[in-house]
Amino acid sequence: MLVELEKRGKLYRVITQNIDGLHQMAGQSDVIELHGNTRKILCMSCDKTYSMDEAYTRLEKELPPKCSCGGVLKPSIVLFG
Ligand SMILES: [Zn+2]
C-alpha cells in the first residue's frame, strides 16, 4: 500500500523503526531507518561496515566475527540492553 501511495505521489518518504528492509524489498525508494538495518554489519571499534555475506564468511571462522582491526562485528542496528 505504501509503495502504491508513493507511485501516486501521495507519499514522499517513510520513516520506520523496522530493521528488516521490507519497505525497500516492497519497492519503497525513500526510507529512513531509525534503528538501522540488518543488511549491514558494523565494527564496534572502528565503524567499518561489512555486507551480511562478508560477516557470514567471518562467522564460519570465528565467533564472534571480528573486523580486520580486531573489533567485534554486530548488525548495524540499535541493540537495547
Ligand atoms: Zn574495525
Q: What is the C-alpha separation between 26 and 23, in angstroms, rounded? A: 5
Report for 1-5, 58-62, 76-80: range of highest mean pLDDT: 1-5
The domain limits of the chain are 1-38, 39-75
Q: Which CATH number fits domain 39-75: 3.10.129.10, 3.30.1600.10, 3.10.180.10, 3.30.390.50?
A: 3.30.1600.10
Q: What is the pLDDT of residue 66?
A: 93
Q: What is the C-alpha separation between 54 and 41, in angstroms, rounded? A: 9
Q: What is the pLDDT of residue 27?
A: 95
Over the stretch 11-31, which tens digit does the pLDDT of each residue have? Answer: 999 999 999 999 999 999 999
CA of 38 to the centre of ligand 1 (A): 18
Q: What is the pLDDT of residue 81?
A: 74
Cell 538495518, residue? 37
CA of 36 to the centre of ligand 1 (A): 18
Instruction: Return the active site residues.
Output: 35
Q: What is the pLDDT of residue 80?
A: 84
* DSSP assignment string, 1-13: -HHHHHHTTS---
- Reported as a pLDDT band with limits 50, 70 and 90, residue 7 is very high
CA of 29 to the centre of ligand 1 (A): 30
